[in-house]
Amino acid sequence: MAISFELNGQPKAVDVDPKTPLLWVLRDTLNLTGTKYGCGIASCGACTVHIDGEPVRACVFPVSAVAGKKITTIEGLSADQSHPVQKAWVAEQVPQCGYCQSGQIMAAVAFLKKNTAPSPAEVDEAMSGNICRCGTQQRMRSAVLKAAQTMHLAQTAVEVGGEL
């Protein structure tokens, strides 16, 4: 039986074994390869996506559990690399090999929704569940802080009725 959900704003239905992890449905069934396979046991975070806004490790999340929910993957974060976190990632020249970065960015975006003005230590804590073997940790830390600042300024501007 088909499982239906919303993916990056579009309705989708897939007919697969309901136990199939969302990761493989995204990658192999829907050919949406921005979400990465790194470990298969929710240890590395490369497969992080948002389900109803919450960060989830897609490699252990059965597709049956997303029925009726809203999924956002890295491809759905913005149409044009314009999300403040994406921009900060470019500004800080964060990625090296880049493989873990979809998951890192999705983790950072989810974190910054909850904590709009984090301290460096809070960034460290929030991002420590995602592995990067290229050693971009220091640049990611700067980029998350930079994005937080941009988003905070934008938020403040909205609150006072101004525009950026």
Partner 1 sequence: MSVATTVVSRRTALKSTLQSAGATLVIHFSGRPAKAAGEKPDANPLTSWIKIDSNGTITLSYSKSEMGQGITTSLPMILADELGADWKDVRVEHAPLEKAFGQQGTGGSGSITGLFTPLRQAGAAARTMLIAAAAERWNVSPADCKARESAVWHGSDKLSFAALVDAAAKMPVPDLATVALKPPEEFELIGKSLPRNDIPAKTDGSAIFGLDVRVPNMVFAVVARCPVFGGKVKSFDDKQARAMKGVLDVFEIDAAQEAHSCGGVVVVAETTYIAMQARNKLKIEWNEGPGAAESSETLRKEFRRIVDSSMKVVINQGDADAAMAQTPSDKKVACDYELPFQAHAAMEPLNCTVHIQNGRAEVWAAHQAADMVQEVVSKVAGLSPDKVKVHTPFMGGAFGRRYQADFPTEATQIAKRVNRPVQLVWSREDDMTHDFYRPASYHRMNGAVDAQGNITAWHHKYTSTPISEWFDPKAAPESSELGLCSQLPYLTKSYKLEYTPAKSHVPRAWWRSVEASVIGFVLESYIDELAHAAGADPYEFRMRMLGEDRLVKDLLDDKERPLDAGRLKGVLRLAAEKGNWGKPMGEGQGRGIACHYSFHSYVANLAEVTVKGGALKVDRIVSAVDIGVPVHPDGIRAQVESAIVYGLTAALKSEITVQNGRAVQSNFNKFTTLSMKETPLIEVHIVQSAKPPTGIGEPGLPPTAPALANAIFAATGKRVRRLPVQPGDLA
Q: Which is nearer to partner 1, 39 or 154 (CB)?
A: 39
Residues 63-122 that bind partner 1 (CB under 8 A): 73-75, 77-78, 81, 86, 89-90, 93-102, 105, 121
Q: Is the distance from CB of 109 to CB of 140 less than 8 angstroms?
A: no
Least distance (Å) between residue 9 CB and partner 1: 15
| Residue 63 beta carbon to partner 1: minimum distance, rounded to whole angstroms | 10
Of 58, 34, 60, the C-alpha closest to 48 is 58
The answer to whether the CB of 84 falls within 8 A of the CB of 147 is: yes
Structure tokens at 17: 């074994």
Which region, judged by CB under 8 A, interacts with partner 1, from 38-46, 64-72, 145-153, 154-162? Answer: 38-46
Q: Which residues contact 131 (CB under 8 A, 6 or more apart)?
A: 38, 43, 44, 45, 46, 100
CA distance 48 to 148: 19
Residue 139 interacts with partner 1 (CB under 8 A): yes or no: yes
Using the minimum distance from each CB to partner 1, give the nearer residue, 5 or 94: 94
Residues of span 4-23 touching partner 1 by CB under 8 A = 16-17, 20-21
State the Cα angle at 143 between 122 and 49, rounded to 5°: 75
Binding site for partner 1 (CB under 8 A): 16-17, 20-21, 24, 27-29, 31-41, 43-44, 46, 73-75, 77-78, 81, 86, 89-90, 93-102, 105, 121, 123-125, 127-141
